[in-house]
Amino acid sequence: MKEMDILEIITKAGEAKNGYLQAIQEAKAGNYEACNEYVRNGNEAYAKAHRIHMEMVQQEAGGNRVELSILFTHAQDQLMNAEILKTLCDEFIDLYRRLEEMQA
């Protein structure tokens, strides 16, 4: 496990979280085109972080022990938070759309 890979997970997970939070704000303002762009960017960043993480999981499954560290634990935490935020983002966008429809 390389520190640069771990840092990349942290960076990309952070980008994903930021994208999802921005998407929620755009949905709140009714700007769904911008909202969709932020979700797309968040999804791309999340996919990159997840891909690196899965490579590490596959290494360990293949018998190459992955050393745990505080940094790796932080990376996993950031990745899980991005995943949770993605789920909440989708729900908030749906709620804002429904509210907008009800007010029309």
Domain boundaries, the chain: 3-103
The predicted structure's pLDDT at residue 43: 98
Closest CA relative to residue 13, chosen from 36, 42, 40: 42
The predicted structure's pLDDT at residue 67: 81
The predicted structure's pLDDT at residue 65: 86
* pLDDT of 40 higher than 70: yes
Inter-residue contact 49 to 13 (CB < 8 Å): yes
The predicted structure's pLDDT at residue 1: 59
Instruction: Determine the average pLDDT of the residues in 32-47.
Output: 98
Count CB neighbours of 35 within 10 A.
23
Report the SS3 class of residue 1.
coil
Active site residue 53: no
d(CA 88, CA 69): 29
- Among 74, 76, 90, 97, the one annotated catalytic: 74
On whether 77 is known to bind a ligand per the annotation, the reply is yes
The predicted structure's pLDDT at residue 97: 96
Instruction: Report the percentage of the chain scoring pLDDT > 70.
Output: 99
Mean pLDDT over each residue of the chain, to the nearest integer? 95
Running DSSP on this structure, what letter comes out for residue 56? H
Of 66 and 4, more confident: 4
pLDDT, tens digit, 9 for 90 and up, residues 51-80: 999 999 999 899 988 888 999 999 999 999
Domain covering 3-103, topology: Methane Monooxygenase Hydroxylase; Chain G, domain 1 (1.20.58)
* pLDDT of 82 higher than 80: yes
